[in-house]
Chains A and B, each alone.
Chain A
Amino acid sequence: MSEHHHKETFVTKYIFSQDHKMISKQFLITGIFMGIIGVFMSMLFRMQIAWPEKSFTIIEAFLGPHQTDGVMSPDMYLALVTIHGTIMVFFVLTAGLSGTFSNLLIPLQIGARDMASGFLNMISYWLFFISSILMVVSLFVEAGPASAGWTIYPPLSALPQAMSGSGLGMTLWLVSMAIFIASSLIGSLNYIVTIINLRTKGMKMTRMPLTMWAFFITAIIGVVSFPVLLSAALLLIFDRSFGTSFFLSDIFISGEVLHYQGGSPVLFEHLFWFLGHPEVYIVLLPALGITSEIIATNSRKPIFGYRAMIGSIIAIAFLSTIVWGHHMFISGMNPFLGSVFTFTTLLIAIPSAVKAFNYITTLWKGNLQLNPAMLFSIGLVSTFVTGGLTGLVLGDSALDINVHDTYFVVAHFHLVMGVSAIFGMFAGVYHWFPKMYGRMMNKTLGYWHFWITITAAYGVFFPMHFIGLAGLPRRYYTNTNFPLFDDLSDINVVITMFALLGGLAQLIFLANFFISIYRGQKAAQNPWRSNTLKWTTPVEHIHGNWPGKIPEVHRWAYDYSRVDEKGEYIHGEDFVLQTTPLKDGEEPT
Chain B
Amino acid sequence: MLALFYIFIAVAIGVSFWQITRILNLRSVIATDDDNNTQGKLFLVFIAVFYALMIYCLIALNVVLLPESASIEGEHEDTLFDITYWIIGVVQFVMQFFIFYFPYKYRGKKENKALFYADSHKLEMIWTITPAAVLVVLISYGLWQWNNVMDLSDAEDPLIIEVYGKQFSWDVRYAGEDNALGRGNVNFIKGINTMGVDMTDLSAADDKQVTEIHLPKGRKVIFKFRSQDVLHSAYMPHFRAQMNCVPGMVTQFGFTPKFTTEEMRQNEEVIAKNLVINKIRKEKGEDPYEFDFLLLCNKICGASHYNMQMKIIVEEEETFNEWLAEQPTLAEVIK
**B114:A367 contact, CB within 8 angstroms:** yes
**Neighbouring B residues of A451 by C-beta, 8 Å:** 42, 46
- Complex formed: what's the CA distance from A558 to B119 in Å? 12
**A392:B87 contact, CB within 8 angstroms:** yes
Q: B112-152 interface mask toward A, CB cutoff 8 Å, 1 = contact, 0 = none?
A: 11111111100110011001100100110011011111110
**B107:A257 contact, CB within 8 angstroms:** no
**A306:B118 contact, CB within 8 angstroms:** yes
**Stretch from B206-214, B260-268, B299-307 forming part of the interface with A:** B299-307
**Neighbouring A residues of B240 by C-beta, 8 Å:** 401-402
**A330:B233 contact, CB within 8 angstroms:** yes
**Neighbouring B residues of A487 by C-beta, 8 Å:** 63-64, 273, 276-277, 280
Q: Give chain A nearest CB distance to B184 CB in angstroms.
A: 10
- Complex formed: what's the CA distance from A469 to B65 in Å? 6
Which residues in chain B, 294-335, are within 8 Å of chain A measured between CB atoms? Answer: 294, 296-307, 309
> Which listed residue, A265, A308, A462, A567, touches B231 by the CB 8 Å rule?
A265
**B300:A370 contact, CB within 8 angstroms:** no
Q: Give chain A nearest CB distance to B16 CB in angstroms.
A: 8
- Complex formed: what's the CA distance from A463 to B28 in Å? 36
**Stretch from B33-41, B154-162, B172-180, B215-223 forming part of the interface with A:** B33-41
Q: Give chain B nearest CB distance to A464 CB in angstroms.
A: 10
Q: Give chain B nearest CB distance to A446 CB in angstroms.
A: 9
**A482:B131 contact, CB within 8 angstroms:** no
**A390:B229 contact, CB within 8 angstroms:** no
Tell me if B1 is interfacial: C-beta within 8 Å of chain A: no
**B124:A354 contact, CB within 8 angstroms:** yes
**Stretch from A147-155, A200-208, A542-550 forming part of the interface with B:** A147-155
> Which listed residue, B113, B241, B294, touches A401 by the CB 8 Å rule?
B241
- Complex formed: what's the CA distance from A398 to B148 in Å? 9
> Which listed residue, B21, B63, B280, B298, touches A405 by the CB 8 Å rule?
B298
- Complex formed: what's the CA distance from A432 to B170 in Å? 55
> Which listed residue, A156, A332, A455, touches B230 by the CB 8 Å rule?
A156
**Neighbouring B residues of A488 by C-beta, 8 Å:** 64
> Which listed residue, A342, A346, A363, A455, touches B106 by the CB 8 Å rule?
A363
Interface size of B in residues (CB-CB distance below 8 Å): 125
> Which listed residue, A264, A401, A589, touches B249 by the CB 8 Å rule?
A264
- Complex formed: what's the CA distance from A250 to B299 in Å? 19
**B118:A470 contact, CB within 8 angstroms:** no
**B80:A370 contact, CB within 8 angstroms:** no
**B124:A305 contact, CB within 8 angstroms:** yes
Q: Give chain B nearest CB distance to A377 CB in angstroms.
A: 10
Residue of B nearest to A459 (CB): B53
> Which listed residue, B42, B85, B119, touches A306 by the CB 8 Å rule?
B119
Q: Give chain B nearest CB distance to A581 CB in angstroms.
A: 19
> Which listed residue, A154, A252, A307, A338, touches B150 by the CB 8 Å rule?
A338
Q: A334-356 interface mask toward B, CB cutoff 8 Å, 1 = contact, 0 = none?
A: 01001100110011011001101
Given contacts A401-B242, A402-B242, contact A159 B29 (CB under 8 A): no
**B61:A563 contact, CB within 8 angstroms:** no
Given contacts A338-B150, A365-B115, A462-B53, contact A378 B29 (CB under 8 A): no
Count chain B CB atoms within 10 A of each CB in A385, A392, A398 and give the residue with the most: A398
- Complex formed: what's the CA distance from A462 to B138 in Å? 23
**Neighbouring A residues of B301 by C-beta, 8 Å:** 156, 162
Given contacts A396-B138, A402-B77, A442-B28, contact A332 B251 (CB under 8 A): yes
- Complex formed: what's the CA distance from A399 to B141 in Å? 11
Number of A-B contacts (CB under 8 A): 396
- Complex formed: what's the CA distance from A441 to B150 in Å? 56
> Which listed residue, A343, A359, A363, touches B139 by the CB 8 Å rule?
A343
- Complex formed: what's the CA distance from A397 to B76 in Å? 13
Tell me if A11 is interfacial: C-beta within 8 Å of chain B: no
- Complex formed: what's the CA distance from A371 to B24 in Å? 16
> Which listed residue, B20, B150, B299, touches A511 by the CB 8 Å rule?
B20
**A331:B248 contact, CB within 8 angstroms:** no
**B167:A265 contact, CB within 8 angstroms:** no
**Stretch from A89-97, A110-118, A232-240, A473-481 forming part of the interface with B:** A473-481
Residue of A nearest to B226 (CB): A250
- Complex formed: what's the CA distance from A558 to B76 in Å? 48
Residue of A nearest to B104 (CB): A368
Q: Give chain A nearest CB distance to B257 CB in angstroms.
A: 16
> Which listed residue, A350, A473, A574, touches B296 by the CB 8 Å rule?
A473
**A440:B24 contact, CB within 8 angstroms:** no
Tell me if A361 is interfacial: C-beta within 8 Å of chain B: yes
**Stretch from A2-10, A173-181, A182-190, A514-522 forming part of the interface with B:** A514-522
**B24:A399 contact, CB within 8 angstroms:** no
**Neighbouring B residues of A397 by C-beta, 8 Å:** 142-143, 146
Tell me if B228 is interfacial: C-beta within 8 Å of chain A: yes
**Neighbouring A residues of B28 by C-beta, 8 Å:** 442-444
Tell me if A263 is interfacial: C-beta within 8 Å of chain B: yes
- Complex formed: what's the CA distance from A476 to B297 in Å? 10
- Complex formed: what's the CA distance from A527 to B30 in Å? 8
Residue of B nearest to A390 (CB): B88
Given contacts A486-B277, A574-B113, contact A360 B95 (CB under 8 A): yes
Q: A486-515 interface mask toward B, CB cutoff 8 Å, 1 = contact, 0 = none?
A: 111111000000000000000110011001
Q: Give chain A nearest CB distance to B31 CB in angstroms.
A: 5
Given contacts A248-B248, A305-B119, A365-B115, contact A443 B237 (CB under 8 A): no
Q: Which 3 A-B pairs have the closest CB atoms?
A: A249-B248, A471-B237, A335-B150
Q: List 14 A-B contacts (CB under 8 A).
A: A74-B306, A78-B303, A253-B230, A302-B117, A330-B244, A342-B139, A364-B115, A398-B148, A399-B77, A440-B30, A441-B29, A470-B64, A473-B296, A569-B113
Sample of 6 further A-B pairs with CB below 8 A, known A75-B303, A567-B113: A253-B167, A350-B128, A360-B95, A462-B53, A488-B64, A574-B114
